[in-house]
Amino acid sequence: MEGGYGVGAYNVNNMEQVQGIMAAAGEMKAPVILQASRGALKYGKMIYLRKLMEAAVEDNPDIPIAIHLDHGNGFEACKLAISLGFTSVMIDGSLKEDSKTPTTYDENVAVTKKVVKYAHERGVSVEGELGTLGGIEDGVGSGKVLLTEPDQAQQFIEETRVDALALAIGTSHGAYKFKRAPTLAMDIIDEVKTRCPDTPLVMHGSSSVPDELVAIINRYGGDMPNTMGVPISSIQEAIKRGICKINVDTDNRLALTGAIRKFMAEHPEEFDSRKYLGAGRAAMTELLKGKMRAFGTAGHAGDYEPKTLEDMRKHYAEG
């Protein structure tokens, strides 16, 4: 990953999300990571989601796209994603296979090493995670925040040879992250970056939960309590300090839901699903164009040389 900006990694579950993201990436000429959780793969019966992501690649030859497994919960989940043609996988060894119980450092190293060996032999890159995020409402997270310890992060990267590392700096998944403006542990990014300057660092739980998106949902019949996400300014600071992959799911869900609610309220007679899903897709594209500008990704589609999995396999084999 090139320096100086953060590439958004956006979760996808259906066609409208894939198209909404790709429309923004195309307009902004931004590299993009499409990522699927295990829940998304189950919902999309795997084959449908894989084909949708393949379609995004085929339809956007000038946009660099990584197809990524988000929060793989064990070796088998990563192996499955690799068999589906994903170009990178995350093994979230910070939690046990239930995606809730924190593991020990040694357990995390063991499963991550196993995935790295298997993935690199097939040219697939791997994201690991050390430390845990809070937030359990979306099913991923221990509910307890265990911040990443920088010395341990260096040891983890050296022992496992992961390509990228997700840091826990105080964010959490989902819409209910904070009650007031958060203070994130930015110094952890500096300290890991100093120790491991060549390892791309990842920030999960990066949705900003914009007030205006929550307001639209509530104005049109929704019921979301007051909440705060990660301010864009904090994400920009994290990027300056070394974060280069930024995971966003919740904000896209909010944009999609709000636009659908609004459309249905304003057009009670309408029952053509293309109308309200189209409105949701357009709302996501608008949201993401803003993020791609804010994260500095806009205009960087030309920074990457296309590489096949075979190129990457040789690269890993050379050590």
Q: How far is CA 106 from CA 48, 97, 155, 160, in A?
A: 36, 15, 11, 11
- Burial class for 274, CB neighbours closer than 10 Å (0-12, 13-18, 19+): exposed
- Site for ligand G3H contains 290 (CB under 6 A): no
- Site for ligand G3H contains 145 (CB under 6 A): no
CB distance 166 to 129 below 8 Å: yes
Total residues found in the chain within this entry: 319
Active site residue 70: yes
- Burial class for 75, CB neighbours closer than 10 Å (0-12, 13-18, 19+): middle
Q: Output the smallest distance, CB 197 to ligand G3H, in A.
A: 27
End-to-end CA distance of the chain: 18
- Site for ligand G3H contains 138 (CB under 6 A): yes
Nearer to ligand 13P by Cβ, of 11 and 142: the residue is: 11
245: helix, coil or strand?
strand
Nearer to ligand G3H by Cβ, of 38 and 261: the residue is: 38
Q: Residue 38: enclosing H or E segment and its boundaries? A: helix 38-43
Nearer to ligand 13P by Cβ, of 148 and 206: the residue is: 206
DSSP 164: E
Judged by the rule CB under 5 A, the positions of this chain that interact with Zn ion are 204, 247
Q: Output the smallest distance, CB 42 to ligand G3H, in A.
A: 9
Contact string 225-264 vs ligand G3H (x = CB under 6 A): ------------------------x---------------
- Site for ligand G3H contains 177 (CB under 6 A): no
Nearer to ligand G3H by Cβ, of 95 and 188: the residue is: 95
Nearer to Zn ion by Cβ, of 204 and 253: the residue is: 204
> What is the CB neighbour count within 10 angstroms for residue 142?
22
- Site for ligand G3H contains 69 (CB under 6 A): no
CA distance 105 to 114: 14
Part in contact with ligand G3H (CB under 6 A); list of ranges 61-69, 120-128, 133-141, 216-224: 133-141
CA distance 75 to 97: 10
- Site for ligand G3H contains 37 (CB under 6 A): yes
Alpha-carbon torsion 54, 55, 59, 60, what sign?
negative
Judged by the rule CB under 6 A, the positions of this chain that interact with ligand 13P are 11, 70-71, 173-174, 204-207, 247-250
Among residues 26, 102, 139, 182, the one that binds ligand G3H under rule CB under 6 A:
139
- Please tell me the chain's helix, strand, coil percentages from 3-state DSSP, rounded to the nearest 5: 45, 15, 40
Among residues 11, 125, 252, 297, the one that binds ligand G3H under rule CB under 6 A:
11
Give 128's strand partners.
91, 165
- Site for ligand G3H contains 73 (CB under 6 A): no
Give the relative orientation of helices 47-59 and 15-28 as an angle to the nearest 10 degrees: 20
Active-site annotation holder among 59, 62, 70, 211: 70
Nearer to Zn ion by Cβ, of 199 and 207: the residue is: 207
Q: Output the smallest distance, CB 310 to ligand G3H, in A.
A: 30
Q: Which residues are near ligand G3H by CB under 6 A? A: 11, 37, 39-40, 70-71, 138-140, 173, 249
Q: What amino acid positions are annotated as catalytic residues? A: 70
